[in-house]
Amino acid sequence: MSKMISGFSKLSKEEKIDWLAANYFTNQPEIIQTIKQYWNVDEKLQQLHDDFIENTISNFYMPYGIAPNFVINGREYVVPMVVEESSVVAAASKVAKYWSTRGGFKTQVIATKKIGQVHFLFAGDTSNLEKYFQENKTELFAATAAITKNMEKRGGGILDIELVNKTDKLANYYQLHVTFETKDSMGANFINSCLEAIAKKFENDDIEIIMSILSNYVPECLVRAEVSCKVSELGGENPEKFAHKFEQAVKIAEIEPYRAVTHNKGIMNGIDAVVLATGNDFRAIEAGAHAYASRNGNYASLTHCEVKEGVFKFWIEIPLALGTVGGLTALHPMAKLSLDMMQKPSARVLMQIIAAAGLAQNFAALRALTTKGIQHGHMKMHLMNILNQHHASNEEKETVAKYFENRTVSHSAVVEKLNSLRKPAVNWIDFENQKLVKETLLQLSADAKPKFGSMNGQQMIEHLSAVTQIANGNWKVDTFVSDEKAARRKPFLNTENELQIGFKAPFLAEAPADLKFNSMQEAINDLLIQIDEFFKVFTEDKNRKVVHPFFGELNFDEWKKFQIKHFTHHFKQFGLV
């Protein structure tokens, strides 16, 4: 059956969810509950989130953390970070505090130009196009007057319009390359509106407009962040050696693309986290940053390091086109909170804060790599993720965390420790494993003496078979268990507790039953037949329930739990486990 659908966007949110569950999550009724449990209880706030994008069915939560102790240009900041990766916030916080006692971060905005382009084709004489452009350049500015009026009041607007000849790369291809200043706005809508107005004015019979769009590559919207101190002030056992290794690690990332990609990813861990927290476009930031890292023809590090005349200096220069007004920053309550937390920065100040966060993250990663290794700290932070993944209780978390205080954390080591805590006190018998049951019972002699009770070996085997026949419906026991007693007794089946020595169902006689079979082998074979029958009857009727003489009415799962306890009890009776 086809799962294609027409008019999906016109369905209500409830209808969208019902369609999704019916077509892609059959037999998983919990899916709808999962989707709805992430809705905000405030209906107006939820509606606000629903309206951010299309076909919304729920919210996807990301952790929102804060990194305190950032000192940037002498001013103290707490930096909000939205990120799913453990150790990012902790690393930024630790490095911020480290550099707060060594002069803090020094930052400056180098430029704030943003770029937009009108892409078009022209097959005529280039000199005629250049003449046409010069004659109409003033008109191109004028065509955007209504759009740029308010931006110009804030000190922004169109800075310049240039004609660019790209026919050496693509036949008949030219650009209008437009530079903008958008002040505290990221300016995407403003730029695109201006470009479309310019394109409309510029187009004629000989000029074919292909498209008009801003560029997320903004090499002249640039910010620099730096930390520095005397090498002797770096701390540690051997600051000179650390400074040298750190510098070499950065230089490797400057010339080795395989390393540079991971190096820059670490920088973006810090940058993206703050960009997300402020409602800015982290994808645009990512694209622009990586393009800038390749500006010289080879992908290279965005950070640089120099150790000279006893001074350690580490810095980053990165393009960041950000906004603090308009867009999601004005709509999302948490984005507004983030900006308020950072003392309502302008776009220029936000550029500097985010650059500092990226530099801090990179410093943390390189310090770890050149000293203890990246996994030492990262896996410590990842410990709780591993424990949550394996549904550890609070008590287990506390025990495991204490165990790994001075040990190296790895996923396998954590799971091994967790399993050791969970190792059952009882070696339960898997009665489904008929090979195990048969091989174990064959160790017994028919007249084997028990450690407790009065049955011999063969009597015990025939007893297990007889009780299994109750579940199978082959032995009708005249007994009654009240609902009150059953409700009180049945929870025992879900525990790790064993049947106590001396436990005996009321329908059983005091003395062991007479033997039914002539040999141990016959008794064992009958037991295996009864086990087969047990699984057969419950498989054929999944709703089957049979009264147990002590626990009351039991379903398949409850009977299995009893059987495990019952087999284990009697195997222990003869020292078989």
Q: Which residues are catalytic?
A: 85, 265, 281, 378
- Please name the residue ranges forming H helices in 232-326: 239-255, 257-277, 282-293
Q: Identity (one letter) of the amino acid at 9?
A: S
Helix (H) / strand (E) element for 538: namely helix 520-540
If one counts every other C-beta atom within 10 angstroms of the C-beta of residue 52, the result is 12
d(CA 195, CA 176): 9
d(CA 319, CA 351): 9
C-alpha Rg value of the chain to the nearest Å: 36
Q: In this structure, are strands 303-308 and 221-230 parallel, antiparallel, or unpaired?
A: unpaired
- Please name the residue ranges forming H helices in 55-183: 88-100, 126-142, 145-153
Query: In angstroms, what CA-CA distances link 209 with 202, 205, 474?
Result: 9, 10, 86
Contact, 115 vs 214, CB < 8 A?
yes
Measuring CA to CA, which residue among 260, 274, 561 is closest to residue 428?
Answer: 561
Task: Return the structure tokens found at 18.
Answer: 């019902």
Query: In angstroms, what CA-CA distances link 390 with 86, 238, 381, 383, 495?
Result: 17, 40, 16, 11, 20
Contact, 382 vs 413, CB < 8 A?
no
What 3-state class would DSSP assign to 141? helix
Measuring CA to CA, which residue among 339, 340, 412, 349 is closest to residue 375?
Answer: 412
Measuring CA to CA, which residue among 172, 191, 175, 195 is closest to residue 183?
Answer: 191
Contact, 284 vs 216, CB < 8 A?
yes
Task: Return the structure tokens found at 330.
Answer: 């004005």
Measuring CA to CA, which residue among 577, 576, 468, 485 is closest to residue 530?
Answer: 468
